[in-house]
Chains A and B, each alone.
Chain A
Amino acid sequence: MNGEVRDLREVIREELLMKDVILGAVKDGPRTVPEIASAIGRPSHEVLIWVMGLRRYGHLSETGEMTDEGYYRYGASAGEGS
C-alpha cells in the first residue's frame, strides 16, 4: 500500500499544515480519501488521519452514499471550526 508508515505523532502534527491543501483538493466537490490522496500527492493512510481530524473540527464532512468501491466522499463543511 502506498507509502511507508511514518510516526503517528509526526503525521498528526501536520494536520493543520495540510488543512488548506485538503480543502483546496475538495474545492470543486467532495472526494474520497484515495482521490484526495492522489490529488495532493500524499499517502492515503496519512490523508485519512488528516481528513478525520478536519472532520472532527467541522472543516469536512462526508456527503451522500458510499461509492461502489466502498468509499465515502468528503467535502468542505461550514461547521464549528470553519
Chain B
Amino acid sequence: MDLPGRETDSMNYDVLVVGSGIGGMESALKLGDMGYKVLLVEKEASIGGKMILLSKVFPTLDCASCISTPKMAAAAHHPNVDLMVYSEVEEIDRNGKGTFNVKVRKKPTYVNPSLCTGCRQCETACNVAVPDQFNANLAARRAAYIAFPQAVPKKAVIEKEGSSPCTFTCPAGIKAHGYVALTRSGKYDEAFNLVLGETPLVGSLGRACYAPCEGECTRDMVEGAVPVRRIKRFIADRYYQGHREPVYSAVEKTKVHKVAVVGSGPAGLTAAYQLALKGYEVKIFEAQPLPGGMLRTALPSFRLPKAVVDRDISNVTALGVVIETGVRVEKISQLREEGFDAVFMATGTNKDVTLGVKGENLEGVRGSLDFLRSVNLGVEPSLKGKIVVVAGGGNVAVDSARAAVRLGAQRVIIQYRRGREDMPAHRWEVEAALGEGVDLQPFCAPVEFTGKNGRLAGVKSVRMQPGEPDSSGRRKPVPVKGSEFTTPADLVITAVGLTPSTGDFEKELKLNGNGTFAVNTETLQTPVPYIFAGGDAVTGPSMIVKAVGQGKRAAYFIDRFLSGESLDGADYDRRLGPVAGEAVLGRQESLSRLEPVAEKEIPLEESKAGFSEVELILSEEEARYSAGRCLDCGVCSECSQCAASCPANAVDLGMREEKRELEVGSVIVSTGFKLFPADAKPQYGYGKYKNVITGMQMDRLLAPTRPFNTILRPGDGKVPDSIAYILCTGSRDKTVGNPLCSRVCCMYSIKQNQLIMGSLPMADVTVYYIDIRAFSKGYEEFYNQAGGMGANFVKGRVARIDEQESGNLVLTYEDIDGGGVIQKAEHDMVVLSVGILPNTDPFGLFTGEELEQDDFAYVKETDEDVSPGKTSIDGVFVAGTASGAKDIPDTILHAGAAAAQAAAYVERIRRGK
C-alpha cells in the first residue's frame, strides 16, 4: 500500500480507526466523506465486526447483511479510507506535536491479495479443520479460509501459527506435518508426492530414518508421538505398489550447465535429483558396483530392503540423471576438464576407524563397513557355528550383530565400553538385537585380539567402570584393574566409528583435521568455487535425513552459483520458528488419550532365519488412525494442496509479517465488545449439555449464511420443537462480576423468537426473564409483536438446567407470576441470551499516556454528557460499544460523534492549537 503523503504535514493519515465493526466503519466513512485520510485497521481477515454475522436487526427485522455490506463495500472502496485487515495495532504513542506514532503489525495471510479471486479452491483442498469463529464455533472451517461469504475483502487467508515442531526439526525440511495431514485425509499419493518434492528417498527414509520429527512431536507429551516415519513408509509402500516405476519422464534440460555428483548416497542422490528438477544435466559417479552409498552397503536389508533403495533411486534416474558405477573419482579437476561446471562431493564416510589394539590385522578381524558391505552384496559366507564379537555401541555395531545372527552365528556378543544407556544406538534397535539373542556386554572393551597362524582365535577384553567426566560431561570409562578375560572368537567386527576417505583430494581441497571437507556450512561451497561438498563427508557420520538435507542445500546453492547469483544472504531456510508444544496443548481444555499403534515385526524365528524385512507396515486403518492423532501444531500443515489448487497462483507460503510505523493525527478506538462466556454460569450447562447454545450461536443458525441447513439442535441434528430463552445470562449479575444491563439481549432474543416462529411455525418459544427492557423507538411494539406471534414470556429466574437422556433439557425456575413457586419445564433446546462485556484490548495499546477505564472496564468517556467519545488522552476518541453497551443505532450515532471529535482535533493540531 502506498501511504499517502501530505504536502502540509508529515502525517501518513489524519485519523487511525482501530476496529472495523459497524462503529469503526461509520467513523471511517464519515471522516472520509469530510475529506480526511483514514486508516482503518482490523485484526480479522474481513471488516464488518459482529454485525455482519447477525441474522437480522431489531426492531425492523432488516437483513443485517443488507445493511452491513454496503457499508463494508463503501469503506473498502472509499478514496480516503485505506484498509489494513488481518493487522493489529501494537502501539500508539502521542508525540510532542499532538499527533500519534503508531506501530501496526500486518500478519501474513500467505495469500497474495492482489492475485486471489476468492474462489475458495484453497479452502476446499485444505486438509486441516479448525473451529469456525465466524460461525460461533458451531462448525468447522479450514486452515485456509475466507472469513465468510460476504467478507470484504473477499480474499483467502491461511492460518499458520508457526512451523509444526516435526517439520521444523527435520534436517531435510521434509514437511512431516503436511504428509501426516494428507494421510489423515486419505490423500496418500499427494502425501507421497509432498515428500518426493524434497527427496527421492521416500521409501528408504520411511524405514531407516531416525525420525527426529517424532522426538519433537507434541503428542509425545501426552501418550506417545505420532509415528511419522511409519506413516511415511506406509505412503511410500502404497505408492510403489501402484507405481512400479516413476510416472514422470526425463526433465527437459533447460540449463546449459552440467553438474557432476561424486557419490550416490543420500546426499548425492538428493542433490542430483533437485538439480535435475531445476533443469541441469547431472551425472553421478559411484565407486561401488551399485548405487546407494550407505543405503546400499551399510544398512542391512532386514532394515532396508534393497528393492526399496532401487525404487527410490529410480526416482532420480527417471529424471534423466545418469549414474556411472564402479568409477572412483580421484581428481576433481578432471571432471571440470570433462565439461562439468560444478561438482558436488558427497563421498560419505566409507572407512572404518580402527581400534588400535594388538592383533587388529589378524585374519578374522574386520571393520563393520567391510562386513556389512559383503553381507549386502550377498558374498558374506555363512557364520554357522561361529562365535562373533562386535566391538562398539552404535547403530552400525548393532546392525552388524543382527546381520551375524542371520548368517547363523552360534553366539554373537556386543562389547561396549560404557553402559547400555550410553549406547549411541537407538534403544529399540538394541532391544531388537537382544530379542534376537545377541549377548550385550556393557562396560567391556577389547584390548587385544589373539590368534594362531595369523588367524583370529580370541578376544582379550577388560572390564570398565565409569571414571571422571570427560569434556562432553559423560563419565569416561576406565579399566578395572585385573579384570581381563578372554573370549574365544571366530570373527571380530570393529564398529567404533566411520571416517571419510578423502585422502585423494587433499591436494585439491582443504580438509579438516578429521578428514572431512572444509566448506562454508551455509552454502556448502569449498574454497574452490565450483566445488561443493556435503553429507557425511562434511558432517562426519550422521543421520540419513541430515545427509538428505545437505544434498538439498547443496543443490540450492549450486543452482545459485551456476546462475551467477550471490550465495551470501540467500536466506535458504525460511521456515518459521516452531510452535511450542505447551501452546498447542493449551488450545484445548481437554485432550483424549489416543494410544499409539504398537510397532509390529515378523515372528522372531522368521526374523532370525534370514534377511526378510523385520518391521511390518502399518495397515491403512492404522496409518489413518495414527495420522488422526496429529494435533496440527502449526495449524497450517504446509501440505501445499492450497497452492496446487489455486488457479491464480496466489498462495505464497513464504510470506512473512510486516511491521509498519505511521504518524496519524488522531485515533478512534472502536474495538467493540466481548460476549459473556456462557460456561461461566455452570448451572446452565453450556459446553456440557449439547443442546444449550448462546444467542450468538442462534443468530448464526438463523442467518442466511448459517452453518447448518436449518435450525438444528447441536446434540443430534433434530429440528427443535420447543426452544427456551434465558435472558440476562451474564448481565445484571453480580455473581459473575457484571452488574450492568447489556441493553441488547432482550431485543435480540425477541428478534430471534420472531425469526424462529417464522422458520419453524410448529415450534414453541418460551422466554424466561426478570424484566424486559424495551427502551428505544419501536422496541415495546416489537416485544408485543413477539407475544402476539405466540412467544410465551415467563417471569422467573432459571436456577438450573438438567440434561435428559433424550438430550432434552429440564429447566428449574421460580415462577414469579405464578406465586413464586418452583416449577420445572422441559425443552429440547435452550438459548442463553448472553450479555456483553468490555473489550479491554485497547488499554494495552497506548504508551506514555494512559487510556483510562470506567468503573466497568469500558473505555472511559471523560465528558460523556457534552463531549461524547472524548477519552482521557487528548486526540483519542472512542466509538460504539468500546465505551459501553449499545444497540446498533446508538453505536452508529456514537461513531458519528467520535468522527466529528476527531475531525475537530485534526483541524486544531493543523492550526497548531
Asked if B715 is an interface residue, CB under 8 A from chain A, the answer is yes
Asked if B140 is an interface residue, CB under 8 A from chain A, the answer is yes
B648: shortest Cβ distance to chain A, in Å?
17
A66: shortest Cβ distance to chain B, in Å?
6
B640: shortest Cβ distance to chain A, in Å?
16
A76: shortest Cβ distance to chain B, in Å?
15
Asked if B709 is an interface residue, CB under 8 A from chain A, the answer is yes
Give the interface size bracket for A toward B: 35 or more
Asked if B818 is an interface residue, CB under 8 A from chain A, the answer is no
Distance in angstroms between the alpha carbons of A55 and B138 in the assembled complex: 13
A19-67, CB < 8 A from B: 19-20, 32-34, 37, 44-45, 47-49, 51-53, 55-58, 62, 66
Q: Contact between A9 and B131 (Cβ–Cβ < 8 Å)?
A: yes
Query: Which of chain B's residues have a CB closer than 8 A to the CB of A44?
Result: 715-717
Query: Which of chain B's residues have a CB closer than 8 A to the CB of A45?
Result: 690, 714-716
Q: Mark A58-81, 1 if CB is under 8 A from B, else 0.
A: 100010001001111000000011
Q: Contact between B124 and A48 (Cβ–Cβ < 8 Å)?
A: no
A62: shortest Cβ distance to chain B, in Å?
5
A74: shortest Cβ distance to chain B, in Å?
8
Asked if B589 is an interface residue, CB under 8 A from chain A, the answer is yes
Q: Contact between A10 and B592 (Cβ–Cβ < 8 Å)?
A: yes
Asked if B488 is an interface residue, CB under 8 A from chain A, the answer is no
Q: Mark A1-21, 1 if CB is under 8 A from B, else 0.
A: 100011111101111110110
Q: Mark B717-744, 1 if CB is under 8 A from A, else 0.
A: 1111100000000000000000000000
Q: Contact between B588 and A9 (Cβ–Cβ < 8 Å)?
A: yes
A82: shortest Cβ distance to chain B, in Å?
9
Q: Contacting chain A: which of B73-81, B204-212, B624-632, B653-661? A: B624-632
Query: Which of chain A's residues have a CB closer than 8 A to the CB of B425?
Result: none
B173: shortest Cβ distance to chain A, in Å?
24
Distance in angstroms between the alpha carbons of A48 and B625 in the assembled complex: 20
**Residue of B whose beta carbon sits closest to that of A5:** B688
Knowing A15-B129, A20-B186 are in contact, say whether A48-B717 is a contact too (CB < 8 A): yes
Distance in angstroms between the alpha carbons of A14 and B708 in the assembled complex: 18
**Residue of B whose beta carbon sits closest to that of A16:** B185
Q: Contact between A53 and B139 (Cβ–Cβ < 8 Å)?
A: yes
Distance in angstroms between the alpha carbons of A20 and B187 in the assembled complex: 11
**Residue of A whose beta carbon sits closest to that of B186:** A20
Distance in angstroms between the alpha carbons of A51 and B120 in the assembled complex: 19
Knowing A1-B803, A52-B138, A53-B129 are in contact, say whether A19-B186 is a contact too (CB < 8 A): yes
B326-370, CB < 8 A from A: none
Q: Contact between A52 and B708 (Cβ–Cβ < 8 Å)?
A: yes
Knowing A7-B590, A9-B130 are in contact, say whether A57-B124 is a contact too (CB < 8 A): yes
Q: Mark B129-146, 1 if CB is under 8 A from A, else 0.
A: 111000001111110000
**Residue of A whose beta carbon sits closest to that of B760:** A70
Query: Which of chain B's residues have a CB closer than 8 A to the CB of A62?
Result: 709
User: 12 pairs across A/B with beta carbons < 8 Å?
Assistant: A1-B690, A1-B804, A7-B590, A8-B137, A10-B590, A16-B128, A47-B717, A49-B140, A49-B714, A53-B129, A72-B712, A72-B719
Q: What 19 additional pairs, Cβ within 8 angstroms, besides A17-B184, A57-B123?
A: A1-B805, A5-B688, A9-B587, A10-B590, A12-B140, A13-B130, A16-B128, A16-B181, A37-B716, A44-B716, A45-B715, A52-B708, A56-B141, A56-B707, A69-B718, A70-B718, A70-B721, A72-B709, A72-B710
